Amino acid sequence: MTGFDAGQLAVGAVDAQERELVLISFLAFVALSLLLCVMAGPEGDDTADFYAGNRSLSPRKNALALAGDYLSAATLLGTSGFVALSGYDGMALAVATALALGGLLLVAGPLRRAGGYTLGDVFALRSPGPAARIAAAVIALAISLPFLVVQLSAAGRATALLIGLGNPGAEQVCTAFIGVLMVFYTVLGGMKGTSLVQIVKVTVAFTTMAALAVWVLQHFDWSPAALLAAAAQGSGSPDTYLDPGRALGTDATGRLDFLGLQLSIVLGGACMPHILMRIGTAGSGAAAREATQRAVTLVAVFCCFVVIAGLGAAAVVGGRAITAVDGSGQASLMLLAAELGEGKAGSALFVAVACTVFVTVLAVVAGIALSAAAALAHDVYAHAVRGDRATERDRVRAARWSVAAVGSLSVVVTVTLQGYNVQGLIHLTLSLAAATVLPACLYGMFWRRFNRTGLLCTVYGGLLCTVVLFLVSAAFSGSPDSLLPDRDLQWIGLRSTALLAIPAGFLLGWAGSLLAPGGGRVTARAAVSRPRSSRHRPS
């Protein structure tokens, strides 16, 4: 269960003046971002404008937006807390986070040259017809909705905490409020509007984390060795803080669990539907690769700042104080800012960190909502249901209604799960992306024998395997930090089942293609390698 008492403790550490500054900054950002969305939003009913911003962003701006889509609350709060409490394991997780986007470099160019806006457009190159598009929509929603629940839960909790209302009712109201904002941002701004919000988010987050990292290093006289020593001492276990296995154990199960977690981040993090949709906004394959290269650098530097902040939290605040407020460590950044800050400069630092947390979560949920809505409107409605007979106006209207539907559903589910530890759903979403989207894209682009049967086996078989494995894992039940701690359906003592799910997805695609070698084979390799201008623009 999430800690209500912990939230009250954290609220007590923030004085009234700082809460007022946070509230004013919060409202100012909401007003500014809504204004940006209105100004940058699509001028008419044009799907290319709504889904891809007419591919008008430069590689530099697209890199900022891509980094914004990728850097979620899990990176900012979860990884920093993991570093603070787990030392070596947390730093290894930060490295995996940076590596994940690097893997996107291999497929960014081919994906963009494949054209389209959604996973359905990519899948349809290998398997034309409604079956591939429906499969793409199913997996996009299966990945996006749980991830939205995690992000909205963190947003509601953080917003209530930052404005001084640390109780379950306030968290539910704040969750609904964030959900409404998410719908407005996406409906009014489309891809171009959400891109501007992502750019603002990355600028604010990067500046704030850089300032926090500098403050921490200055506190220890610019000595990384002194910072590491103080972090180890503050953790309460100086002899094991910098040894592997602190987070999930040093036995075979713990090591396999941590390996699976890293594998799911590296292989699944860059295959999330909203990340792949961002690649489609680049002007060309070369522009997509350039934007990805720039984004990799931004994310790598940002992860360095996160590691420094996590170590600073362990050294300055202490492991016991952090776990007393939040057992997962997600309050470590706020506690560090409150502990380091003195006077007006300290208050400004705390307010900046608080706003960074809010901005990060809000921008990410808007991007995820857009990709989920695109799967419904573009793949299901415009192609599978209407069969390309829908007008541009119909398509954009369907996209906007889909945003409202996805937003409403995610808010209802998040509020219903209030009080449960939904962080385990991150394991599900990353494993799903790595076990379904990754093999489908790699096979579709680079293996000529991959066909419709292989695609459907990969998507539906990988989805079924991943969900079943999650339901019998430690992330779902059987332990205090599970989604259902009072139930015990656990057969596998792992939280992340990626080590089992990812090979299953690849094997299912391979076996399905060999069982039906003529089932819808097309020359997709040639399709993704020839210039974009040689094909019709997707409808």
Q: Tokens for 27, please give them.
A: 């409202």
The single residue listed with the structure tokens 């990805």 is: 292
Task: For residue 527, name the pLDDT band (cuts at 50, 70, 90).
Answer: very low
DSSP for 139-181, please give it. HHHHHHHHHHHHHHHHHHHHHHHHTT--SHHHHHHHHHHHHHH
pLDDT > 90? residue 432: yes
pLDDT for 44 equals: 59
The string of pLDDT tens digits covering residues 395-417 is 888 888 888 898 889 999 998 98
The string of pLDDT tens digits covering residues 91-107 is 999 999 988 888 788 78
Please, is 36 exposed, middle or buried when counting C-beta atoms within 10 Å of its C-beta (0-12, 13-18, 19+)?
A: buried
Q: Which residues pair with 477 in a beta bridge?
A: 484
Q: What percent of the chain has pLDDT over 70?
A: 85
Amino acid letter, residue 459: V
| Cα→Cα distances 519→14, 26, 442, 512, Å | 62, 54, 18, 9
Amino acid letter, residue 22: V
Three-state DSSP class for residue 281: coil
With CA atoms as reference, report the closest residue to 189 among 410, 27, 399.
399
pLDDT for 177 equals: 84
pTM, whole model, 2 decimals?
0.86
Question: Residue 470: what are its φ and ψ, rounded to 5°?
Answer: -65, -40
Q: What angle do CA 470, 182, 143 make, to 5 degrees?
A: 20
Lowest pLDDT segment from 79-88, 264-273, 277-286, 462-471: 277-286
Mean pLDDT of 283-298: 88
Q: Tokens for 35, please give them.
A: 């204004």
Contact 55, 283 (CB under 8 A): yes
With CA atoms as reference, report the closest residue to 459 among 436, 479, 493.
436
Three-state DSSP class for residue 509: helix
Render the burial of 425-446: b for 16+ CB within 10 Å, e for the rest.
Answer: bbbbbbbbbbbbbbbbbbbbbe
Amino acid letter, residue 255: R
Amino acid letter, residue 269: G
The residues spanned by each domain of the chain are 4-534
Mean pLDDT of 277-300: 88
Contact 112, 284 (CB under 8 A): yes
pLDDT > 70? residue 347: no
| Highest mean pLDDT out of 124-133, 203-212, 476-485 | 203-212
pLDDT > 60? residue 222: yes
Task: For residue 251, name the pLDDT band (cuts at 50, 70, 90).
Answer: confident
Render the burial of 525-539: b for 16+ CB within 10 Å, e for the rest.
Answer: bebbeeeeeeeeebe
pLDDT for 341 equals: 66
Q: Tokens for 362, please give them.
A: 């809000």
Mean pLDDT of 308-318: 93
Render the burial of 10-26: b for 16+ CB within 10 Å, e for the rest.
Answer: bbeebeeebbebbbebb
Q: Which residues pair with 484 in a beta bridge?
A: 477
pLDDT > 50? residue 451: yes
CATH match for 4-534 among 1.10.579.10, 1.20.1730.10, 3.40.50.300, 3.30.70.60 = 1.20.1730.10
The single residue listed with the structure tokens 């901005």 is: 359
pLDDT > 60? residue 524: no
Beta-carbon contacts of 129 under 8 Å, excluding residues fewer than 6 positions away, are: 452, 520
